[in-house]
């Protein structure tokens, strides 16, 4: 018994870790963001209630026979409404003292009097109370998993006209009572369909597991159900990139968990170092962190310097003296991201092989050197795409391998220190001979290699928000081990427009599929 208890104590830390994996990406929606959602959601609810279908009403009471048909909602007044967070997983949508105007056809028979026409009616004191439960589905997607609804109508009036108006008003109790009952019974089913079917189809537009480019993909699946307080809704996403050649590969997350404390903006998105590390690890696993320059692609000034540096070796290779040069830069280990309050940097280790490539003969290696550099990184949003721009420039020169400070830009999220160092893999003496190549090779990286890398990452990666919802007034803030993007939101498309675009068809359910989707070619989604 004691041995079993000890074993349980030893396993407990690992069980706790497994049950709470740190997110690579976290999103917080504040009460200010919920207010914007309420405005757009109220328009959507009005449109849904206007489409309510009420069954025909017919019956008789003594000598009075009636048939009510073609009931249509003509107007809605939802002046008093509210949308609130309710711990732990709920949103509460409350409508008070609303009014609904109706118009329908009447067929009335009273003794020998038969009448056909239209009736205008109004339902006043309409109260609708709905609670939406949010949860993570099997595919890791945010869904409305359950809805409770309660609707009531305090009063209903029907207006009659014509010579028999007084008679109709006396007998209208039967019609109004029946119509009030039928209308109140249709409100909740209409909103339930709008929530569990239509709004869930909108949530299907949030990217969960899709391809970023031809080399890597991103996994934005939720790690757990959303956490809701009275003022915020927090979503923990896996935030892990993966190489397309090995989609089942998992990179363990040892980074600091992002912590969002702010509530001033509508939405906050936090990214840990793990988010960026997994992207660079995936590119490394995909084998694309290699760049080759040969012949005319090698800058002329650098070629002259290289030929002078290795003059003795090249001279001994006659008749291959005039053979073109080839430079192969290959990253030797997955780059690492470092996020500090002062800025963001990326540490890279690589090999640079310099060779002569004689025609019709095997390449002749002149040198193989190791390079270590720390690139400054600017992280920013463009639409809904998170982009990173790398830079190697520095504002001051120091000895080889030393740190050199560069002044921060007032609006850019950049690291204050940059480093560039080269050394020979063969001997310390050759490392000393390479000192003259320090500045030219750094310039080569900045002017030739960095534009190629930044062009590859130009598209960025989409942040997991529904289609039609975009960021405005973004501000990037660095913390120890993670960064946050605070922004406001606006709807570039209405809920109805997006829902109609992706209105689900009655086929076999495919929403639980975990197969990644191809990168979108629609720039409006970014």
Q: Please report the pLDDT score of residue 141 as a whole number.
A: 93
Q: Please report the pLDDT score of residue 164 as a whole number.
A: 58
Rounded distance, CA 495 to CA 41, Å?
8
Average pLDDT per block of 10 residues along the chain, 526 residues long: 46 48 94 91 88 76 73 86 91 93 78 74 92 94 94 84 60 73 88 91 89 92 94 95 89 92 94 95 90 84 77 55 83 92 90 84 82 88 88 46 36 46 63 68 77 81 89 93 94 84 58 52 39
Q: Which two tokens stand for residue 237?
A: 């996403």
Q: Using a cut of 0.85, tell me whether the model's pTM lies above it.
A: no
Q: Please report the pLDDT score of residue 312 as a whole number.
A: 56
Rounded distance, CA 350 to CA 375, Å?
13
Domains of the chain, CATH where assigned: 32-204 (3.15.10.10), 210-394+418-488 (3.15.20.10)
Q: Please report the pLDDT score of residue 8 as a whole number.
A: 43
Place of tokens 């509508």: 266
Q: Please report the pLDDT score of residue 457 as a whole number.
A: 78
DSSP string, 437-490: GHHHHHHHIIIIIHHHHHHHTSS-EE-S--TTEEEEEEEEEE-SSEEEEEEEEE
Q: Which residues contact 395 (CB under 8 A, 6 or more apart)?
A: 404, 405, 406, 407
């Amino acid at each position: 018994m004691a041995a079993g208890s000890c074993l349980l104590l030893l396993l407990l830390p690992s069980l706790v870790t497994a049950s709470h994996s740190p997110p690579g990406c976290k999103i917080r929606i504040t009460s200010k963001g919920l207010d914007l959602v309420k405005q757009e959601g109220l328009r959507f609810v009005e449109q849904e209630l206007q489409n309510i279908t009420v069954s025909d009403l017919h019956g008789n009471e003594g000598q009075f026979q009636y048939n009510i048909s073609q009931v249509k909602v003509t107007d809605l007044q939802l002046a008093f409404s509210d949308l609130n967070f309710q711990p732990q997983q709920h949103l509460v949508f409350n409508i008070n003292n609303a009014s609904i105007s109706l118009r329908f056809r009447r067929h009335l028979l009273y003794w020998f009097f038969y009448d056909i026409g239209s009736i205008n009616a109004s339902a006043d004191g309409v109260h609708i109370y709905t609670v939406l439960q949010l949860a993570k589905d099997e595919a890791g997607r945010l869904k409305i998993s359950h809805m409770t609804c309660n609707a009531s109508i305090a009063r209903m009036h029907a207006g009659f006209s014509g010579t028999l108006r007084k008679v109709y008003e006396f007998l209208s109790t039967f019609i109004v009572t029946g119509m009030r009952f039928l209308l109140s019974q249709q409100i909740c089913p209409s909103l339930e369909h709008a929530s569990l079917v239509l709004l869930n189809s909108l949530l299907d537009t949030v990217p969960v597991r899709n391809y970023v480019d031809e080399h890597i993909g991103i996994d934005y699946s939720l790690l757990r159900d959303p956490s809701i307080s009275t003022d915020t809704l927090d979503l923990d996403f896996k935030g892990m990139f993966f190489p397309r050649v090995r989609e089942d590969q998992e990179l363990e997350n040892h980074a600091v968990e992002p912590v969002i404390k702010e509530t001033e903006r509508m939405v906050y998105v936090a990214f840990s170092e793990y988010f960026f590390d997994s992207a660079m690890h995936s590119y490394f696993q995909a084998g694309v962190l290699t760049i080759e320059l040969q012949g005319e692609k090698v800058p002329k000034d650098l070629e002259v310097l290289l030929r002078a540096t290795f003059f003795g070796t090249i001279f001994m290779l006659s008749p291959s003296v005039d053979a073109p040069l080839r430079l192969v830069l290959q990253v030797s280990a997955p780059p690492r991201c470092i996020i500090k309050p002062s800025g963001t940097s990326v540490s890279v280790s690589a090999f640079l092989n310099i060779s002569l490539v004689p025609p019709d003969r095997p390449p002749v290696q002149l040198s193989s050197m190791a390079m270590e550099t720390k690139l400054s990184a600017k992280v920013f949003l463009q639409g809904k795409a998170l982009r990173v721009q790398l830079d190697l420039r520095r504002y001051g020169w120091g000895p080889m391998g030393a740190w050199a400070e560069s002044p921060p830009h007032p609006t850019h999220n950049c690291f204050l220190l940059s480093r560039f160092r080269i050394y020979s893999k063969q001997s310390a003496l050759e490392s000393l001979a390479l000192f003259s190549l320090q500045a030219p090779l750094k310039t080569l990286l900045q002017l030739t290699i960095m534009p190629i890398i930044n062009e590859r990452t130009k598209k960025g990666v989409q942040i997991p928000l529904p289609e039609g919802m975009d960021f405005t007034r973004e501000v990037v803030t660095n913390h120890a081990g993670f960064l946050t993007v605070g922004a406001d939101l606006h709807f570039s498309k209405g809920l109805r427009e997006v829902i109609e675009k992706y209105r689900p068809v009655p086929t076999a359910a495919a929403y639980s599929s975990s197969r990644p989707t191809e990168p979108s070619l629609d720039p409006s989604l970014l």
